[in-house]
Amino acid sequence: MATTDDITVRQCKPGEENYLMEFAKAQSWDYSMYDYRCYMRFAPDFLLVAIDKTGTPVGFGGLSLHAPNLYYLGNFIVRDDLRNKGIGRKLWQAMIAKAGDNNIALDGAPAMVNWYKKNGFQFQSFKVWFHNITVTDEMKLTHTFKYDIQRLSEGHWPALMEYDRLVYPNFNRERILRAWFADELVEVFLVMKGESVLGYGSIHKQSDNVYAVRNVYADNEDVLEEILRKMFDKLPTGTVARFMLIDGKPMPQYLKSADESADSAQRLFNKQMIETNVERMWLGTAHII
């Protein structure tokens, strides 16, 4: 049985991320190799691993630099049967040491929020609720789109970032979004009015029959519904899609058959909150700033 004396925390080596996938799957995380690849594209040294005396990974913690003085802490997990033995604290200490005196953001599960607050994460912004939905025949009925909806291309980036700054007015996320929108498994859709963006969102494949919807921002519910319909347009009946509804937002009509969820995550900061305009935020993420 592993004890903290047996545990070493070091940089993750290629191939060890497969253990992370196993741990995440066991906890039903909305996480896949897509997310890991995006992190690696963005911050190749982000992932720390806790190994036992045999060299077997027993826990992970990720820390990615999102701005010169801002880290995002994620992928924080310990193998289920080894929890409450001090392994998580050892990983935590290694991540905090790596971040130094910089601002850190994280998304805390309900059971951990008070612990994070006691450990200095007193600033909080938005909260997300995790939901699953199974695509139904009703959702696949023929629909005439009212807006010009386009897939993201290089020429869209100036307009996309202009819109994103309406949500994050004092934080430039282009480097982050380019990492998450570059993967072959993701599609990004924009609602256009001339050269301007009225909303956007992304959907990516997690496994053969599971997709995840992230970062859906829109001027209003009408635009939101159109983005969602476009995202789900080619998904077969029976496909499962995961999404994170921003706390306080009504469930979109198109997603009305989604499950009732008790799982949530609270965005926390230890130095200073990054300003977000939740008016345009509908479906969020618990993986990136």
54 with 172, same domain? Answer: no
Assigned domain for 214 exists: yes
Q: The tokens 């594209």 sit on which residue?
A: 41
96 with 134, same domain? Answer: no
- Percentage of the chain modeled with pLDDT above 70: 99
Assigned domain for 123 exists: no
261 with 151, same domain? Answer: yes
Q: The tokens 């993750």 sit on which residue?
A: 12
- Phi and psi at 267, nearest 5°, equal -75, 125
* CATH code, domain carrying 50: 3.40.630.30
The whole-model pTM stands at: 0.93
Assigned domain for 121 exists: no
pLDDT tens across 190-209, in order?
999 999 999 999 999 998 89
275 with 171, same domain? Answer: yes
- Phi and psi at 281, nearest 5°, equal -90, 130
Cα angle 33-278-132, degrees, rounded to a multiple of 5: 40
Using CA atoms, how far residue 150 sits from 185, 191, 243, 248, in Å, is 17, 7, 21, 28
Domain that residue 143 falls in: 129-283
75 with 149, same domain? Answer: no
Query: For residue 4, what pLDDT is reported?
Result: 75
